[in-house]
Structure 1
Amino acid sequence: MIFRKWRGLKFRNYPLVYKLIVTYILLTVLPMALLVYLSYTQYARSVEEQIGEYMPKFLYQANADIEKHIKELTTLPEMLFNSENILSILRRESYARRSDLNKDQYNMNSYLARTYTNGRNADVFGVFVLSNDRVFYSSKAGFKESGWAETIKEYALGGEKEDQASSGILLPADLKLHLDSDIPHVFIRKPINDNDNRRTLGTMLIAVDLTFIGDIVRNFETNERADLWVMEPSGRIVYHTNRALIGTVDPDRSRYPVLNGSFRKKVDGEPAKLVSANQTDKLGWILVHSIPLRDLTQRADLVRNVTVFVFVAIVIAASLIAVVIAYNMTRPLKKLSGLMKTVERGDFQVDLKVQSGDEVGTLARSFNSMIATIRELIEKNYQIEIRQKEAELYALQSQINPHFMYNTLETIGMAVEEGDTGQVVDMVTLLGRMLRFSVSSQSKSVTIAEEVQHVKDYLTIQKFRFEDRVHFDIAQMMDDRDLQTFYTPKFILQPIVENAIKYGLETRKALDLHIAVTEEFGARSGKRDVVLRVRDNGPGIAPDRLEELEQSLKKISFEGRDSHFGLINVNARIVMMHGTDYGLQLHSIVDKGTEVTIRIPKIRGEELPHAENKNADRG
C-alpha cells in the first residue's frame, strides 16, 4: 500500500508532457489494440459458427444426392427382365452339352456389356451375375486374384445362402478380392427374383465407381486443404478425397460428439479443425467434412496482419507528434494560467498573444474570442435591459387605447340617451374591469384565465359598439384549473385582437374572430407548451408584407413603430422573458384571413421571478 502511494505521488510530480504521453497511450493505444483484437476474434468466431451451422445442411443435401444415386443403381437388375432370352438363361438349371453353357455365357456376357458397362451408366464399371453355379460378368477392370470367380461363387452360394442373397452394400474387403485398379468402389448386392415363378434366380453384384461422390461434394467445397470422406457407422471409410485412406478405419469415430452437426477437433501437433458430419437414414453412411480453422479465417488473418502493421505505424507516428505537441503546449500554458487569474479578478482587458497554429494557438484564439464575447455580452445585456424597459413602458402606455376609450364612452352615452340602462350597466362594468386589470397589478405576468377574461371584456365592448359586424368565440381547450394555475405575459392577446378588428372592419361587413387556448408539444422547446391562436376572416397580409413582418419579429427591434408595432411588442416581450423557443408565428392568406399563433411555456406562479411573484401577490 505504501509503495503504491509513493508511486502515485511520484507520477503526480512528473512534468505535464510525460503525463500527456502516458494518458495518450492509456486512452488511445490500448483501446485501439483491444478493439483490433476483439474485432478479429469476434469475426473469426462468427465465421466458424456460420460454417458450422451451414456445412451440415450442405452435407445433408450431398448425402441425399448420394443416397438417391445409389437407389437408382439398385434398380439396374430389373433390366434383365426386359429380355425373354436372358430370362430363359437365368431360369435354366442344367445343360446337356458344354457348348450350350458356353453359348449362354457368351449371350449373357454380351447383354451385360451392352446394357450396363457400355451403356449410359457411367458409374457402373462391372456387373457380376451368379445363378445356378454360373458366373456371368462384364467388367472394365479385372481382379488381381486369379480365382476370383470361385471366390465370388463361394460367397454367393456357400455358407449362409439366405443371408448372402439379401440386398445390401458390400465393401471390397467383404469379398476379399482386389481390383487391379485404384478406382474407389463398392458392390451393390441385389437378388434376382422371378416373380412369375416366385423363386430367386440368382444374385447380381454391381461394381459402382464412387468418384461420383467427389462430383457431388465438389459443388460446395473447393478448398484443397479440406477433407471429405464417407464411412460406415463402424468408422470404415468407403470414400475419401485421399484415396490412400479408403478402406481404413477412422480412429476418432467413437469420439464424435454428434453425427449430424459440427464440432471442433483438436489433435496434438496438428492445427485445430472444424468437423461437420451428416448420417443418412437408409444407408447409414456418414458424410464428414473437415477443414483447418486457420483456413476459414485466412482472409481475416490477412486483414489482421495488415491492420496490425498499419496500427503500429500510426501509433509510432502519433506518439512522435504527441511528444512534439506536448512540449509546445506546455510553454504558453503558464502565461494562459496567469491571464485567467487576471480575468477572475474582473479585468477583461487582456489578450493572449500566441502566434502558433497548433491546438495551443487555437486555445489562445478561443480564449481571446471568449473574452471578447464576454465583453460583448455584458454590453448586450445592458442594451437588452434598456430595450426591455422601453418595451414595458410602451406596453403600459398602450394598455388602453385612447381611441378605444373615447369610442366606448361615446357608445355608453348613446345607450344612456336611448334609455338602455342594462347595456349601460354592462359596458361600465366591463370597462371598469378592464381598467382595474390595467392599473391594479404591476406584475409582468398574469394567469391565463385573467388574460383571456381581459380580451373577452374587450371584445364584448366592441360587440356592443359594432353589433352584428363583430362575432367572436373563445375556445378554452385546457382544464379550468390549469388556466388558473399557469401564467402568461400580460397584454399579449389584446394587441393582436386590436389589429384584427382594425384591419378586418376596413374591408369586411362582418368580422369573425376565433380565439383558442390549447396545450401542445413544442418542437423547439421539447416540452408541453401553452398555445394561444387568434384567427380572423379579414383581408389577410400580402406575401411581401408578411415576410417583412416575420423579419421584424426575428430582430426583436422597436425601431420604426408602424401599424403592426403591437405584434412586435408582444413577440419581443415573450422572447425576452422566455427565450427564442417561444413567441409569435404568422399565417395569412390574402382575402382569406390571418392566424396569429402565440407560444409560451407552462409556468406556474412559484416558478416566476421573485420580484414578479411579490408583485403578483400584491395584485
Structure 2
Amino acid sequence: MIFKKRRLGFNFRDYPIAYKLIVTYGLLTVLPLLLLVYIAYTQYARSVEDQIGEYMPRFLYQANADIEKHIDELTTLPDMLFNSEAILAILRRESYERTSDFNRDQYTLNSYLARTYTSGRNADVLGVFVISNDRLFYSAKSGFLEQDWSERLGAYVTKAKTTGSQARMLLPDELGLSFESRVPSLFILKPISDNDNRKNLGTMLIAVDLTFIDSIVRNFERNERAALWVMASSGKVIYHTDHKRIGTIDEDKARYPTLNGSFRTSSAGPPKLVSVNQSAERGWILVHSIPLKDLTERTDLVRNVAVFVIIGVIIVTSIIAVVISYNITRPLKKLSGLMKSVEMGDFQVDLKVQSGDEVGNLARSFNSMIATIRDLIQKNYQIEIRQKDAELYALQSQINPHFMYNTLETIGMAVEEGDNEQVVDMVTLLGRMLRFSVSSQSKSVTVAEEMQHVRDYLTIQKFRFEERIRFEIVQVMDDEDLHTLYSPKFILQPIVENAIKYGLETRKALDIHIAASQEFVARSGKRDIVFRIRDNGPGIPAERLDEMEQTLKKVGFEGRSAHFGLINVNARIVMMHGPDYGLQLHSIVGKGTEVIIRIPMIRGEGNANAADQNVNRG
C-alpha cells in the first residue's frame, strides 16, 4: 500500500481522525479567538496609554502656563504699594520720636494691606507681611502655629539680604513657619525698591494659598487615583495633591528619562504612566502619575466579558466539534475496518450508516458494491468461469480494496490538513465511481459515462500523487453522440490503471492523454468509435510488445498475468463485437505507449443490451 502507518515515535498522522479534528478545531478556532482577544485588548490598552502619554504633556504644559501666569500676577502685588503716597511716606520713614506715631503708621499700613491684599478679591492670598526698617506690618487670614513667627520672619529677611527687584519663592518650612489652617502655601518674597530715591524700602512676603493649583489641574484630570504635583528643579515638592508630601523630595526625579513627555515606571508599586512638563521660566516641574490599570479599567471590563463569552462559545462549539467529528469518523473507521476484511476475502460484511451526506452515500455504495460482488461471484461461478473473471476483474479493479483503502487514507490526510473542500470532492468522486460500478446490471454504458468514470478515477489519482500525474481528456464528437452511443463498461480504467502502475515506476511525472473520436472504416462502410490512450511512460520493448499482441489475439483466459487488465478489456470487446474490434498497442521504449480501443457505433440502450445478451449466450 502507498499509505502505510508508521509506529516509530510520535507521529501526529498515527492518531485517530476524531483526535485530529478536535486538535485542528482547537488550533483553527480556539487559539485564534483567544489570540484575537489578547491582541485586541493589548492593542487597545496600548493605544489608550499612547493617547494619554501623547496628550497629557500638552495638558501639563497648559496647566504649568496657567500656574506661572497666576504666580506672575501675584508677584506684581507688591507694586500696589506705590499707588499710595501715604504708604510710601510710612515706608520711607526711618525713625519715630513718639510711640503714638509708630502705632498710627502701623495701623494705617496694616489697614491698607488688609483692604488691598487680603480682602475677598485676592482669595489666594493668605497673608501679607512687610518688613521695613525693623518694623513689621502685616495682614493675615490665618495665624501661625509658632509664637515667635515675627522674629523668624525678621531673622530670615535679615539673613537673606534681598536686593534688586526679583521675586523669590519660599516654602513655609524654609521659614520654619506653619499656618494654623494647615493649607498648602508658598511665600513670595520681593524687595520693595524706591526707584525715585534709589533706595530699598524693605521686603514684602506674600503668603499664597496653593490650593488654587487644584482648580487648575483638576480641569485636566478628574481621576481621584491620579497624583499631581509641582516640584522645583531640585526635586523639592512645592505642591502635591497629597498635602503630606509637600516639602518632601521626589527621589525618582533623577531617574526620569525626560522632563517634557511621558514614560512608564514600575518603581514603588504597580506600573504607572508618568507625564511631566518643566516650565521654561521658573523651571518648575509639573508631574502627573496614574496607575496603568486605571487607564484600562473599562477595557478590563470589556476584556473580562469577552473572555467569559468566548469561553462559553468554546465550550458549546467544542461539544459540537466532538459530536461532528465522532459522526464523521465513526463510519469512516468502521468502513476502513470492513475494507480490510474485504481485502482478506471476506465479503459477508455490511456497513449500516443512516446519514444522507457523502459518507452515507459512500457507505451505501460500499454495501451495494459488496452485495453486487457477492452476486457476481455466485452467478459467474454457476454460469461460465471466463465471463466471471472478465467482469469480476473489471469490477474489482474499480473497487479494489487497495484502491479504496489508499483513497480513504488520502481523505484522512486531507482532513488532517484541514482541506475540507478536497475531502468533499474526493468523497463525492469516490461515491460517484462506486455508484457507476453498481448502478446497472448492464455491461454497457454511454460513452459520456465511461469518459466521466475514467476522469473521476484520474482525478482521485491526482489527489494522491499530485503533480506526478497530469492528464488530458479530449472528446472529438458531438454531445448528442456522447450520450446516445454506447460502450462496454470498464474499458478505459484498466488501461489507465496499467499506465499509471508502470509509468510512475520510472517517471517523476506521468502525462496521460485520452481522446474519443469517430472514424470511418472503408472496408465495412461503417463508423467506429476509437479511444486512444497515450502516455509518456517507459514504453514496452519490442519483444515484449510482440508477446503481448500474440496474447491479445488468443482471447483466452491466461490467469492474472502482469497485463491482465489489457487482456480482460480486449477479450470482452472481442466476445461482444467480434475480432474486428479490440485493442491495438503502439510503443517506443523511452518515449511512451499508445493503446487504441476500437468498438462499433451502437446507438441506443436496447442495442447495447442485445449485444450483452449475445455474449452471455455465446
TM-score (norm 1): 0.54
Return the offset for 1:7. 4.0
Please give the alpha-carbon distance, in whole angstroms, between the structure 2 residues aligned to 1:174 and 1:218: 28
1:29 paired with 2:30, answer: yes
Supply the AA of the counterpart residue of 2:10: G
- Distance in 2, matches of 1:303 and 1:79, equals 58
1:46-445, aligned counterparts within 5 Å? 46-156=47-157, 158-162=158-162, 166-267=166-267, 270-331=269-330, 333=332, 334=335, 336-337=361-362, 339=365, 367=428, 386=478
1:174 is paired with a residue whose SS is: helix
Local SS of the residue matching 1:159: helix
Which structure is richer in relative contact order (CA contacts within 8 A, separation 6 or more)?
2
Q: Secondary structure at the match of 2:290?
A: strand
Deviation at 1:311, TM superposition (A): 1.4
Distance in 2 separating the partners of 1:377 and 1:289: 85
Q: Does the C-alpha gap of structure 1 residues 343 and 191 become closer, same or farther in structure 2, counting only changes over 3 Å? A: farther
> Is the Cα–Cα contact under 8 Å of residues 184 and 211 in structure 2 kept in the other structure?
yes
**Cα separation, 2, equivalents of 1:376 and 1:143:** 116
Query: 1:26/1:344 Cα in 2 relative to 1: closer, same or farther (>3 Å)?
Result: farther
In structure 1, C-alpha distance between the alignment counterparts of 2:294 and 2:447, rounded to whole Å? 66
- Superposition pairs of residues 460-479 of structure 1, within 5 angstroms: none
Preserved contact between residue 227 and residue 291 of structure 1 (Cα < 8 Å): yes
Q: Is the 8 A contact 2:192 2:202 kept in 1?
A: yes
Task: Provide closer, same or farther for how the CA distance between residues 94 and 331 of structure 1 changes in structure 2, counting only shifts above 3 A.
Answer: same
Query: Over residues 509-568 of structure 1, what are the superposed CA-to-partner deviations in whole Å (9 max), with x where a residue is unaligned?
Result: xxxxxxxxxxxxxxxxxxxxxxxxxxxxxxxxxxxxxxxxxxxxxxxxxxxxxxxxxxxx
**Structure 2 vs 1, CA of residues 110 and 369 (structure 1 numbering), >3 Å: closer, same or farther?**
farther
In 2: Cα distance, 1:109 partner to 1:376 partner: 124
Shift of 1:162: 4.1
Match of 1:511 in 2: none
One-letter identity of the residue aligned with 2:317:
A
User: Displacement of 1:279 after TM fit?
Assistant: 0.9
CA distance in 2: counterparts of 1:205 and 1:67, whole angstroms: 18
Which residue type is aligned with residue 45 of structure 2? A
Read off the aligned partner of 1:44 and give its amino acid letter: A
Q: Look up the match of 2:384.
A: none
In structure 2, the residue corresponding to 1:8 is in which secondary structure? coil
1:49, 1:153 → 2: CA distance? 51
d(CA) in 1 for partners of 2:38, 2:149: 63
Q: How many residue pairs are counted as aligned between the two chains? A: 371
- Alpha carbons 2:171, 2:238 under 8 Å: kept: yes
Q: Which amino acid aligns with 1:194?
A: D
Match of residue 559 from structure 2? none
1:179, distance to aligned residue in structure 2 (A): 1.5
Secondary structure, counterpart of 1:188 in structure 2: strand
Distance 1:121 1:166 in 2: 21
Q: Note if contact 2:146-2:177 (Cα within 8 Å) is conserved in structure 1.
A: yes
Residue 45 and residue 325 in structure 1: after superposition, are their counterparts in 2 closer, same or farther (change >3 A)? same
Cα displacement (A) at 1:34: 2.0
C-alpha displacement of 1:289 = 0.7
The amino acid that maps onto 2:187 is: F
Instruction: Supply the AA of the counterpart residue of 1:187.
Output: F
The verdict on how the C-alpha distance between 1:199 and 1:378 changes in structure 2, with shifts beyond 3 A counting, is farther
Secondary structure of the structure 2 residue equivalent to 1:252? helix
Does 2:8 match 1:6? Answer: yes
Q: Deviations over 1:320-354 (max 9, x none)?
A: 111111121235554545659999959xxxxxxxx
- Alpha-carbon contact 2:162-2:191 (below 8 Å) kept: no
CA distance in 1, matches of 2:69, 2:396: 90
Cα distance in 2 between the residues matched to 1:256 and 1:343: 83
Q: Distance in 2 between matches of 1:376 and 1:91?
A: 130
Residues 101-144 of structure 1, C-alpha deviations (whole Å, 9 max, x = no match): 10111111111111110141111110011111111100001111
The answer to whether the 8 Å contact 2:165/2:193 transfers is: no
Structure 1: gaps of 5 or more residues: 347-358, 390-619
How far residue 167 of structure 1 moved from its aligned partner, in angstroms, is: 2.1
1:112–1:138 Cα contact (<8 Å) kept: yes
Q: Which amino acid aligns with 1:325?
A: I
3-state SS of paired residue (1:121):
coil
The aligned amino acid for 1:215 is: S
CA distance, structure 2, for counterparts of residue 252 and residue 306 of structure 1:
37
Is the Cα–Cα contact under 8 Å of residues 165 and 203 in structure 1 kept in the other structure?
no
Task: Indicate the larger mover: 224-233 or 257-266.
Answer: 257-266
**Identity %, equivalent residues:** 60
What is the Cα deviation at residue 166 of structure 1? Answer: 4.9
- Report the Cα distance in structure 2 between the residues aligned to 1:82 and 1:377, rounded to whole angstroms: 120
Q: Deviations over 1:59-109 (max 9, x none)?
A: 111000000110011111111111121121111111111101101111111
**Contact 2:236/2:249 (<8 A) preserved:** yes
Once residues 478 and 237 of structure 2 are traced to their aligned partners in structure 1, the CA distance between those partners, rounded to angstroms, is 99
| 1:35, distance to aligned residue in structure 2 (A) | 2.1
Helix, strand or coil: the match of 1:321?
helix
CA-based RMSD of the aligned residues comes to: 3.7
What is the SS of the residue equivalent to 1:330? helix
CA distance in 2, matches of 1:225, 1:82: 46
